[in-house]
Amino acid sequence: MNYQLFQIINHFAGKWDLIDDLMEFFAQDIIWLMIAMIGVLWFTHKEQQQQSAFYALLSAVVALGIATVWISPDVNQPRPFVLHVVHQLIPHNADASFPSDHSTLAFSLAFSLLFTNRKWGTVALVLACLTGFARVYVGVHYPGDIAGSAALAALISFLVYTMRARLNPVPNLLIRIYNKIISSLPIVSRK
Residue 191, pLDDT score: 41
Residue 127 CA, distance from chain mean position: 9
**What is the amino acid identity at position 99?**
P
Mean pLDDT by 10-residue block, N- to C-terminus, for the chain (191 residues)?
91 92 96 96 93 97 96 92 88 90 97 94 97 96 97 98 95 94 71 41
Residue 147, pLDDT score: 97
Contacts of 103 (CB under 8 A, 6+ apart): 128, 131, 132, 135, 141, 145, 146, 149, 150, 153
Q: What is the model's pTM?
A: 0.90
